[in-house]
Copies of this chain bind each other. A is one copy, B any other.
């Protein structure tokens, strides 16, 4: 099994690609900036188990401000270890060591580790699985321990965490004296599957599988839904509920309204949904690899496939964002995808798209299909990369597609619920594991390339032979990718993703003979007959002409956007100063040609700017309206304007008034 968190260090990024630049920025700036935030806010010291003034703040119920601090620290440790693996940094190393010592010191004699339930409410452990993120925090501690173990090659953090997992394993399960529960916020499941993969811990596997199988059981605990039963134990009635639950019994909020196998559509909190499905995919992957046999694997695969399809076809923004609704940070009904918070909602949380990438990576490991990797790349270059400023110090939580006066296009230093910033850093830390998968069988090694960039892969086979592959490109601005393979006796198959937006246009050099290659589910397979003949070769993928895109017509939106390769573009007021009202009165026509211009950001990062014509409608349409009805026989004045588009992920880096829009009204040709 090859989780990206384990395999990433087979990959070295180099050159000046966006990915390489971001990784360098995170290592040199972001990790330090986030460490400073941890220190300033009290998180850094929280495992000392002293009282912090914020613990007195009872203004939020049931989730207090500090509830996720454990996970914030854990995710930062995880990120730090990934980057330390590439390059030593004394300050980062020191902080990791200090934090690990503090976590060790915070462990209770029975193995328990949780700041809130040790310091603030020590009598209430495991009393609110639905809301209180106890197992979520435990999951992130497991992931931190695995990253720490991998980098430091010791068990200084892993040992206490294994003890904690044993405690959890005793507390949760199907036995009479165990809680028949599962976490309100999934996360620990995928952490446990990884823990099992690394340590072969049977407890870890059993616990993760139990959580997945028990979830949504309507009569799991004393003939009641577990979350109802525990609420009753807390003496809360069904109408007492957190703000995130719009109505009573909104168990769909955390995907617990019915068993996973019975869920037809993806619902609720979007991060929880994709974390949960990633764990399901892990469980299927373990089955496929012969590691742990799963009952009814087809049903699990059908469920994850059904929910993936529902998500990407009906509940995803063109930027790879998911989740329209702020209240539950999650999905609306099918095709409900307004693009601004003042237009009905647009959440598209950073963590959620990172979760989509995790899920896609898992699915690709046993179902190689570019429909997963296309979405993985879409998320990476758009909703996810949008989440960090070019100085590496500011972040997003919500990634709206259109700004408004109440929600301008900005980024922030930090959040009270700080899940997204360290999630971004740990993703980039383990990014090498997303670029390609190596599959080794007795006969051969296959390298499936999902993401194009400039990077080299070095893989050691079971017979201790090294296979290396280098790709060099100016992706995502250009479709030419030069490849250089090196292996001794090993037979190597290479599969190259053909993005759907390339419409199958590609050129290989040297040109393969007809039996040297095949194409299946969006991947071009180069057989060993080719890779043995040519150690250096290149592919040039088409589809880099700017193109007009739109969301599905069932969204009932009549809007156009512009994409180029995997990059989704937007308009910003800093380039289009003639506009007002957040581009709400601007129309595009899909017959208008789009021109390109090479540009650089102030930090020297190159990008392709796009230009076309657009029209500014006279916004005073009072003459055309009678209350709710617009008379279509009267046509508003429209002024032709020059429109400048930049990549969405680069927005809000050059000043301006914070006005931005991805999808603009479509005018008639």
B501 touches A632 (CB 8 A): no
Looking at the complex, which of A17-25, A338-346, A468-476 is the stretch in contact with chain B?
A338-346
A625 touches B501 (CB 8 A): no
- Rank and list the top 7 A-B pairs by shortest CB-CB distance, nearest first: A558-B558, A312-B627, A500-B626, A316-B628, A240-B240, A548-B632, A243-B247
Residues 301-340 of A at the B interface (beta carbon under 8 Å)? 312-313, 316-318, 320, 327, 332-339
B344 touches A332 (CB 8 A): yes
Looking at the complex, which of A42-50, A87-95, A146-154, A371-379 is the stretch in contact with chain B?
A371-379
19 additional A-B pairs beyond A61-B238, A246-B246, A550-B632, beta carbons within 8 Å, are: A237-B240, A316-B628, A333-B343, A334-B342, A338-B344, A371-B626, A371-B627, A378-B627, A378-B628, A547-B633, A549-B631, A549-B632, A552-B625, A553-B617, A556-B556, A556-B557, A556-B559, A558-B558, A563-B629
Looking at the complex, which of A98-106, A157-165, A253-261, A661-669 is the stretch in contact with chain B?
A661-669
A643 shortest CB reach to chain B, Å: 16
| Interface membership of A621, Cβ < 8 A | yes
A553-B628 CB under 8 A given contacts A237-B240, A336-B344, A633-B548: no
Residues 335-371 of A at the B interface (beta carbon under 8 Å)? 335-339, 342-344, 371
| Interface membership of A593, Cβ < 8 A | no
Q: Mark A616-630, 1 if CB is under 8 A from B, else 0.
A: 010001000111111
| Interface membership of A560, Cβ < 8 A | yes
| Interface membership of A654, Cβ < 8 A | no
| Interface membership of A239, Cβ < 8 A | yes
| Interface membership of A287, Cβ < 8 A | no
| Interface membership of A288, Cβ < 8 A | no
Pick the contact of A551: B247, B313, B557, B628 (CB < 8 A).
Answer: B628
Instruction: Give 15 pairs: A residue, B residue, CB < 8 Å, sorted on A.
Output: A243-B247, A246-B247, A313-B625, A318-B628, A320-B628, A333-B343, A335-B343, A337-B628, A374-B627, A501-B626, A549-B631, A549-B632, A552-B625, A553-B630, A557-B557
Question: Given the complex, which residues of B lie within 8 Å of A343, measured CB to CB?
Answer: 333, 335-336, 554, 556
Inter-chain CA distance A317–B243, complex, in Å, is 29
| Interface membership of A590, Cβ < 8 A | yes
| Interface membership of A241, Cβ < 8 A | yes
Question: Given the complex, which residues of B lie within 8 Å of A535, measured CB to CB?
Answer: none
Q: Closest residue of chain B to A372, judged by CB?
A: B627
Inter-chain CA distance A631–B375, complex, in Å, is 15
Pick the contact of A630: B327, B552, B630 (CB < 8 A).
Answer: B552
Question: Given the complex, which residues of B lie within 8 Å of A666, measured CB to CB?
Answer: 558
Inter-chain CA distance A242–B245, complex, in Å, is 12
B632 touches A327 (CB 8 A): no
Pick the contact of A549: B550, B551, B557, B629 (CB < 8 A).
Answer: B629
A529 shortest CB reach to chain B, Å: 31
B626 touches A374 (CB 8 A): yes
Q: Closest residue of chain B to A503, judged by CB?
A: B631
Q: Closest residue of chain B to A243, judged by CB?
A: B247
A550-B630 CB under 8 A given contacts A335-B343, A343-B333, A558-B557: yes
B627 touches A375 (CB 8 A): yes
Inter-chain CA distance A339–B555, complex, in Å, is 11
Question: Given the complex, which residues of B lie within 8 Å of A375, measured CB to CB?
Answer: 627
A320 shortest CB reach to chain B, Å: 7
Question: Given the complex, which residues of B lie within 8 Å of A196, measured CB to CB?
Answer: none
Pick the contact of A547: B240, B559, B631 (CB < 8 A).
Answer: B631
| Interface membership of A86, Cβ < 8 A | no
Question: Given the complex, which residues of B lie within 8 Å of A627, measured CB to CB?
Answer: 312-313, 316, 371, 374-375, 378
Residues 511-556 of A at the B interface (beta carbon under 8 Å)? 547-554, 556
B243 touches A240 (CB 8 A): no
Inter-chain CA distance A627–B377, complex, in Å, is 12
Pick the contact of A243: B248, B320, B557 (CB < 8 A).
Answer: B248
| Interface membership of A584, Cβ < 8 A | yes
Question: Given the complex, which residues of B lie within 8 Å of A61, measured CB to CB?
Answer: 237-239
A553 touches B665 (CB 8 A): yes
Inter-chain CA distance A248–B246, complex, in Å, is 10
A552 touches B239 (CB 8 A): no
B554 touches A556 (CB 8 A): no
Question: Given the complex, which residues of B lie within 8 Å of A669, measured CB to CB?
Answer: 668
Pick the contact of A241: B239, B317, B336, B501 (CB < 8 A).
Answer: B239
Q: Closest residue of chain B to A500, judged by CB?
A: B626
A453 shortest CB reach to chain B, Å: 20
Question: Given the complex, which residues of B lie within 8 Å of A334, measured CB to CB?
Answer: 342
B317 touches A628 (CB 8 A): yes
A327 touches B633 (CB 8 A): no
A560-B632 CB under 8 A given contacts A240-B240, A333-B344, A669-B668: yes
Question: Given the complex, which residues of B lie within 8 Å of A558, measured CB to CB?
Answer: 556-558, 666
A549-B243 CB under 8 A given contacts A558-B558, A625-B313: no
Most chain B beta-carbon contacts within 10 A, residue among A563, A617, A627, A630:
A627
Question: Given the complex, which residues of B lie within 8 Å of A548, measured CB to CB?
Answer: 632-633
A621-B556 CB under 8 A given contacts A344-B344, A627-B378: no
Q: Mark A235-275, 1 if CB is under 8 A from B, else 0.
A: 00111111100111000000000000000000000000000
Question: Given the complex, which residues of B lie within 8 Å of A317, measured CB to CB?
Answer: 628
A371 shortest CB reach to chain B, Å: 7
A44 shortest CB reach to chain B, Å: 32
A312 touches B628 (CB 8 A): yes
Question: Given the complex, which residues of B lie within 8 Å of A374, measured CB to CB?
Answer: 626-627
Question: Given the complex, which residues of B lie within 8 Å of A337, measured CB to CB?
Answer: 628
Question: Given the complex, which residues of B lie within 8 Å of A617, measured CB to CB?
Answer: 553
A596 shortest CB reach to chain B, Å: 17
A621 touches B316 (CB 8 A): no
Inter-chain CA distance A560–B668, complex, in Å, is 14
A246 touches B332 (CB 8 A): no
A156 shortest CB reach to chain B, Å: 41
